[in-house]
Amino acid sequence: MTNKNLFPKVRAGLLIAGLLAGAGKLRAQDAYDIVNASRNRIAADTTSKRMRMIIAAKDGSTTERIIDQYSKDGQAGNSRSVIIFQRPQSVAGTRFLAVENPGSPDDRWIFLPALGKVRRIAASEGSASFMGTDFSYDDISSESRNVDLDTHALLREENLNGLSCYVVESRPKDSSYQYSKMVQWIDRETKIIYKLELYDKRNTMVKRVEMQDLRETQGRLMPMVTKMTTLAAGTSTTLYVDILKYDDPIPESVFTTAYLETGRPR
C-alpha cells in the first residue's frame, strides 16, 4: 500500500538538500571572491620595494640581507616579479625571476654569481628553500598565485587582534604542490591577509606567516612586516619593507632571463 504522506516528506527532503547544496556553492563562491579580492586589492602598474631580510636561527643568531623587488603585470595580465640581492657580498648579485602562468605553475629562474649562469627552477623544486631562508620557491611566488589553482572554502568569521576576519581554507588542485592546504585570515574591510597557516601532506601545520605594521603608501595600505616561521625547526625569516613605491616606470627588459644574467636593463 502506498503511503500518501510519503511524497510530501520526500519533496521536503529534496528541497532541503537542494538548499544546502546551493548554500555550499554560494559559500565556495564567496570564498573564491574573498581570496581573489585579496590577491588583486592593490591597483598599480608596478611595485618597487627595498627590504631588509632577517634570518633567525634556532639558537637566536641572525643574518641580515638587503634585497630589492620589482613587480609588474604583463599584457596578458600575468604578474612578473624580480628579486635582486644587494648585500651582504656573499649573496650580492643573485637575481630571481618569477613569471605567473594563469592556470598553471609559475615559470621561475635564478642567477647565482658563483655559477655565472641562469638556472631554471623546476616545478618539482618548489618546496626547496629560497636562498637559505624559511621561504620556499613556492612561498616566494604565493603572493601572485593564481586563485584558480586552488579550491576555496569559507570556514568561519572571527576576530584576530581586534580585526574582523574571514577565515578561508584553500586546497591546491594539483596534488604535487608542497602544501595540502593553506588557511588564511583575511580582513573583512581591507582584504589584507594578516595570518596564514601552511599544512603538509599529513595535514600538520609546518609554517606560519604573520603580517604586521600596516601603513599607507600612495593611498594604498600594506603590511610593512612579514614573518615566516618554520615551526619544527624553530627558525624564522622576517621581511621589513624600508622603501615602497607604486607606479614607478620599470623597463620590460627587467623581467627577462637576460637581465638576470647581466643585471642591466636594455
- 27-76 pLDDT tens trace: 667 999 999 999 889 989 999 999 999 999 999 999 999 999 999 987 66
Q: Are 196 and 185 in contact (CB under 8 A)?
A: yes
Question: Residue 30 carries which DSSP code?
Answer: H
To the nearest 10°, report the CA torsion of 25, 30, 32, 37.
160
> pLDDT under 70 in the chain at which residues?
1-28, 75-77, 103
CA distance 103 to 141: 14
Q: DSSP class of residue 129?
A: B
How many other C-beta atoms lie within 10 A of the C-beta of residue 104?
12
Here the cell at position 159 is: 576576530
CA distance 29 to 90: 47
Beta bridge partners of 163: 160
DSSP 136: B
Contact assessment for residue 138 and residue 128, using Cβ atoms and an 8 Å cutoff: no
Looking at residue 100, what is its pLDDT? Answer: 86
The grid coordinates of residue 43 equal: 591597483
DSSP state of 253: G
pLDDT (0 to 100) of residue 94: 97
Q: If we measure between CA atoms, which residue out of 60, 55, 61 comes closest to residue 85?
A: 55
DSSP structural state of residue 144: G
Q: What cell was used for 20?
A: 544546502
Q: CA-to-CA distance for 212 and 242, rounded, in angstroms? A: 14
Walk me through the domains of the chain, giving residue ranges and CATH numbers. 38-262 (2.50.20.10)
Q: What is the pTM for the complete model shown? A: 0.86
Q: What pLDDT shows up at residue 176?
A: 87
On the 0-12 / 13-18 / 19+ scale of CB atoms within 10 A, 21 is exposed
Other residues' Cβ atoms within 10 Å of the Cβ of residue 163? 16
The amino acid that residue 220 corresponds to is R
Give me 48's grid cell. Answer: 618597487
Question: If 0-12 CB within 10 Å is exposed, 13-18 middle and 19+ buried, where does residue 75 land?
Answer: exposed
- Signed CA dihedral, 100, 105, 107, 111: sign only: positive
